[in-house]
Structure 1
Amino acid sequence: MTRVPALMIQGTGSNVGKSLIVAGLARALVRRGMRVMPFKPQNMSNNAAVTDDGGEIGRAQALQARAARVAPTVHMNPVLLKPESETGAQVIVQGTRVATLKARDYGRRKADLLPKVLDSFRRIEGLADIVLVEGAGSPAEINLRAGDIANMGFASAADLPVVLVGDIDRGGVIASLVGTHCVLEECERDRIKAFIINCFRGDISLFSEGVVEIERRTGWRSLGTVPWFAQAAHLPAEDVLGLAEGRGSGPSGQPVKVIVPVVGRIANFDDLDPLRMEPGVDLRLVQAGEALPGDADLVLLPGSKSTIADLAFFRAQGWDIDLAAHRRRGGTVLGLCGGYQMLGRTIADPDGLEGKPDTVAGLGLLEVETVLRDDKTLSITHGRHIATGTPVSGYEIHLGRTRGADCARPMMEIDGRMDGAVSADGLVMGSYMHGLFGSDAFRAGFLKSLGGVSGVAYETRVEAALEALADHLESALDMEALLAIARAR
């Protein structure tokens, strides 16, 4: 039986552009009339997306699904690891949380997940004319090769050809590609059919000898050198390290200053993407050891994968003192999901979901209390912002329920129910809805309440960036050679 064409994009390391290359290829091939499905066997990210079939996957795979013009499904990313501490992570399998494991324990058990991963791949394969698979990290991490399901282990199990991506902007791209060739087993080297140089700045012809040398030393062919793509900043960042600060200015020349304290387990920070694109917003990410600026218009507390631990982290930076001062000055505070929970009077974890059972004091800016429970909420949501009546769309992904006096003043109406809380003076608010700033009308109304003006049609800009990315790859890569590799599987 003829198998569906498929291709695995692996990288010489993390953050070399694998996710965006898969997204750009997906849109380029869809425009050629192909049914494209993205797939990533294992991802590690606290930036998750809720799928139509009621589970969660890495947000990068949701963007790739959008690029391919298909609905995201849990089978596009069957294993998602969501770090909860320096050594442990929540394990999501086919959209559902199955365990929290230390890294060493997961290392012992990951091979047991291969049947589930292959099951998801077969389901995806059955819906596609071509499957674009993304690796994780690098196949050169040979210390992690035993039981691997993320790179060569999966490529071998599914019998996939591989294209290797190296990022020249990071430096050492020749050594990265040639070094990967050196440390792989011969059968794994043979699986790699070609390579791509990504993120080149300047005159590409100046690297032509470098390409020849890589080809000579590895025996792999070049599919092309991809120039730097500035519009990548218009696409959602998968990793917090990829978040760009926005320092625009509105029509008055005075931007709305939005301050975001970056907690240790920040999660679902795609809430920030529409704000950082706004020309009238000055978005500042405050790192550990820095004070929250005293001239903020809004302090936004983002989502968290470990709310109690991140609340302790927040206090350790002295941010609780800075936030209280901001509040006394009449500043606005918004908490989303875990940030909303932190704003309340207490957070209780009676079942020890985030560590040992405990109840801790919150920041006390909202008259609410949160109890963490094991019944995780995962849903795509639609509703309205009560203060302005503007429509909102987004998603919920959280443990716990929040109750209290300030819930009598909800922030949102979501699918016919009330959500969130607002303080009596209207300056402190919280909601469980992620993604609400992606709704242009809400974002415009919210910025107006802070004295600002919205100048971005967010969804339109994301679509334009995906189209431009597809054009960019079409012009830089030998697409026919790439398709031939996928078809020769």
Structure 2
Amino acid sequence: MSRPTPALMIQATGSNAGKSTIVAGLARALVRRGLKVAPFKPQNMSNNAAVAADGGEIGRAQAVQARAARMLPSVHMNPVLLKPETDTGAQVIVQGKRRGTLRARDYLARKPALLPAVLESFSHLAGAADIVLVEGAGSPAEVNLRDGDIANMGFAEAADVPVVLMGDIDRGGVIASLVGTHLLLPQGERERIRAFMVNKFRGDPRLFDDGLRAVSQFTGWPSLGVVPWLPQAAWLPAEDAVDLDRAQPSSATRTIAIPVLSRIANFDDLDPLGMEPGVRLVFVRPGEPIPMEADVVILPGSKSTIGDLAFLRAQGWDIDIKVHARRGGHVLGICGGYQMLGRLIADPEGVDGSPGVVEGLGLLDVTTTMSADKSTTLVRGVHCPTGSPVVGYEIHLGRSEGADCARPLVMVDGRADGASSTDGRVQGTYLHGLFAGDAFRKAWLSRFGIASSLAYEARIEAALDALADHLETHLDVDQMIKIAHSRQTTSASAA
């Protein structure tokens, strides 16, 4: 009987504690030690998705973790992805493929049936890896969600994976959150947690030594260390829109404004622009006007195009964008944002909400028809105005046609994508990830008199290496590896 692959699950006392970043940094640290590392997240909820190498969608964070592990992203790294479309419903993606949309109550009833697919994907990855790094979701202490859980302790119990619990000191109350989690968990789940760690410390981490001792005293868990805040990690592609506000270069000469839609999706499209020294990236929050000094307005992707079009109008942004265009400003729509720029959006089957037809912003002469067929494709092409190479991906429902499609933004595998107005100031495309390519970004920014000096891919690689160095310095990585190997011992004992 073969021994199980070593595995370690990072759970946290709450959302946005930095689990994704820690797993990415550990993956890079371990792969530099010569291990073949597979990242895994059983269930993710995010509208920031990526297209895997084997087709289908996974969370953006798992694609970053795959990159950190120097692996191609696979649908098995995130077998269940929930993409919120409303406050009470989400599109359900299983092993990369759309299964439909469920209301939250219905999903809670059905999620136990997804555990076999989750375990199948975990086994698939474990069979080809030296170690699997598993990321939890939210908090294991959400006792109201424990029945049928597949994201935290439910998965850890089913797959017999040891857990390290992480607390976020930046938001305050980290001792209470760690000790409170211990209090709420049943004895068996407490014992599955082998150690704890603290993330996002600002200042001298030695000042928290007494805090570490207090947590260990109350819980019996040993400490693996305190991870200080690392600014370089802030620009790694994120999965939560809460991460949109980041420090930016102070030498900006041009302003690009992005309305923050209620269901904004794939917002990491904009990360490379925010890292350019000549660009001031302004995320316009609900209730705020689009700044008049903006040189460009980018309408980002959306998980609910028709719903977010109504949201955009409710903020008065439709008026701001039209005024911006009339004053000679530039507008770019990406995916859902592209669809909004057209004349009409038809949804005869109700795949994006209720069946019907709604008026778009009318800045592009195109009409979009929604359908249940979903495109998830990695693509390569050419930027039509400059001939620069482009690399990106498609994740969208719907098809857009019209006179302005005769002036596509890019040519992809011999076919046209996107549209441009007659004066070229309003453009749209279905392609995500375009700005990550240095050649395309340089060509696009040059139109606004911005000289690009960013080597984006090199910057991301440097950030991952810096993160790995950071964790090696501040965490007991050797002990984490030992904990991962303890899975072999406990599984053998159970057998």
Does TM, normalized by the shorter one, top 0.5?
Answer: yes
Quick one: distance in 1 between partners of 2:98 and 2:474? 40
Deviation (angstroms), 1:246:
5.6
Residue equivalent to 1:423: 421
Quick one: distance in 2 between partners of 1:202 and 1:51? 38
- Within a 5 Å distance, the mapping from 1:172-321 to structure 2 comes to 172-245=173-246, 247-250=248-251, 255-321=253-319
Residue equivalent to 1:448: 446
Give yes or no for contact 2:344–2:357 (8 Å, CA) kept in 1.
yes
Deviation (angstroms), 1:234:
2.5
> Which SS does the other structure have where 1:236 is aligned?
coil
Quick one: distance in 1 between partners of 2:247 and 2:226? 29
- Within a 5 Å distance, the mapping from 1:335-350 to structure 2 comes to 335-350=333-348
Aligned amino acid, residue 352 of structure 1:
G
Residue equivalent to 2:492: none
Residue equivalent to 1:367: 365
Deviations 1:305-340 (A, max 9, x none): 000000000111111111111011100000000000
> Which SS does the other structure have where 2:371 is aligned?
coil
Quick one: distance in 1 between partners of 2:74 and 2:389? 25
Aligned amino acid, residue 16 of structure 2:
N
Quick one: distance in 1 between partners of 2:198 and 2:69? 23
Aligned amino acid, residue 205 of structure 2:
I
The verdict on how the C-alpha distance between 1:246 and 1:364 changes in structure 2, with shifts beyond 3 A counting, is farther
Residue equivalent to 2:46: 45
1:407 and 2:405 equivalent?
yes
Give yes or no for contact 1:244–1:276 (8 Å, CA) kept in 2.
no
> Which SS does the other structure have where 1:282 is aligned?
strand
Quick one: distance in 1 between partners of 2:154 and 2:203? 36
The verdict on how the C-alpha distance between 1:474 and 1:247 changes in structure 2, with shifts beyond 3 A counting, is closer
Residue equivalent to 1:62: 63
Residue equivalent to 1:380: 378
Aligned amino acid, residue 232 of structure 1:
A
1:325 and 2:323 equivalent?
yes
Give yes or no for contact 1:245–1:284 (8 Å, CA) kept in 2.
no
Residue equivalent to 1:465: 463
Deviation (angstroms), 1:247:
4.5
Aligned amino acid, residue 67 of structure 1:
A
Quick one: distance in 1 between partners of 2:265 and 2:204? 38
> Which SS does the other structure have where 2:373 is aligned?
coil
Residue equivalent to 1:163: 164
1:78 and 2:79 equivalent?
yes
Quick one: distance in 1 between partners of 2:456 and 2:359? 37
Out of 475, 479, 482, the position equivalent to 1:484 is: 482
Deviation (angstroms), 1:295:
1.1
Give yes or no for contact 2:234–2:246 (8 Å, CA) kept in 1.
no
Residue equivalent to 1:34: 35
> Which SS does the other structure have where 1:264 is aligned?
coil
> Which SS does the other structure have where 1:138 is aligned?
coil
Deviation (angstroms), 1:238:
1.4
> Which SS does the other structure have where 1:199 is aligned?
strand
Deviation (angstroms), 1:105:
0.5
Give yes or no for contact 1:246–1:277 (8 Å, CA) kept in 2.
no
Deviation (angstroms), 1:127:
1.1
Deviations 1:369-418 (A, max 9, x none): 00001110010011111101111101000000000000001110111111
TM-score for the superposition, normalised by structure 1: 0.98
Aligned amino acid, residue 284 of structure 2:
V
Deviation (angstroms), 1:2:
1.0
The verdict on how the C-alpha distance between 1:129 and 1:172 changes in structure 2, with shifts beyond 3 A counting, is same
Give yes or no for contact 2:248–2:275 (8 Å, CA) kept in 1.
no
> Which SS does the other structure have where 1:324 is aligned?
helix
TM-score for the superposition, normalised by structure 2: 0.97
> Which SS does the other structure have where 1:169 is aligned?
helix
> Which SS does the other structure have where 2:4 is aligned?
coil
Q: Percent of counterpart pairs with the same letter?
A: 66
Give yes or no for contact 1:256–1:447 (8 Å, CA) kept in 2.
no
Residue equivalent to 2:432: 434
Deviation (angstroms), 1:419:
0.5
Deviation (angstroms), 1:248:
3.0
Aligned amino acid, residue 84 of structure 1:
E
Deviation (angstroms), 1:244:
2.6
Quick one: distance in 2 between partners of 1:246 and 1:400? 35
Gaps of 5+ in 2: 488-495
Residue equivalent to 1:138: 139
Residue equivalent to 1:2: 3
Aligned amino acid, residue 392 of structure 2:
G
RMSD: 0.9
Gaps of 5+ in 1: none
- Within a 5 Å distance, the mapping from 1:97-108 to structure 2 comes to 97-108=98-109
